[in-house]
Amino acid sequence: MAQEAEKLLAEFIEIRTPQMLVEVAKSLSEFIEMGLLKEISQDISVREILDGPPFPDDLINIEFVTVPGGSKYLLSCETYKGFGGIFKKMTP
């Protein structure tokens, strides 16, 4: 099951628009609902991003871990000036 999550999750996504952030958040939320991914060390929940701008904070950092595999991922976006962010697999 964990291998399934890791196959479906991208190694790296560059987030360039608010809409792209919402799309990534929707996909991550679905993984969480399926029990394949868990949020850890977050300032906000990925679910708070789903409604789009305005976002709940100017800087979004959410770490995830695959269940039960333990691979870690990071969603990090700056939403105040300009727009940019990433979703990436973290190195062990």
Tens of pLDDT, residues 66-84: 988 889 999 999 988 657 9
pLDDT-derived band at 4 (thresholds 50, 70, 90) equals low
What integer pLDDT is reported at residue 82 of this predicted model?
59
What integer pLDDT is reported at residue 83 of this predicted model?
76
How many whole angstroms separate alpha carbon 16 and alpha carbon 64?
21
* Average pLDDT for the chain: 87
What integer pLDDT is reported at residue 69 of this predicted model?
83
How many whole angstroms separate alpha carbon 57 and alpha carbon 48?
10
How many whole angstroms separate alpha carbon 79 and alpha carbon 3?
32
Contact 25, 60 (CB under 8 A): no
Average pLDDT over residues 16-43: 91
Main-chain dihedrals φ then ψ at residue 24, nearest 5 degrees: -65, -40
* Stretch among 9-13, 54-58, 65-69, 78-82 having the lowest mean pLDDT: 78-82
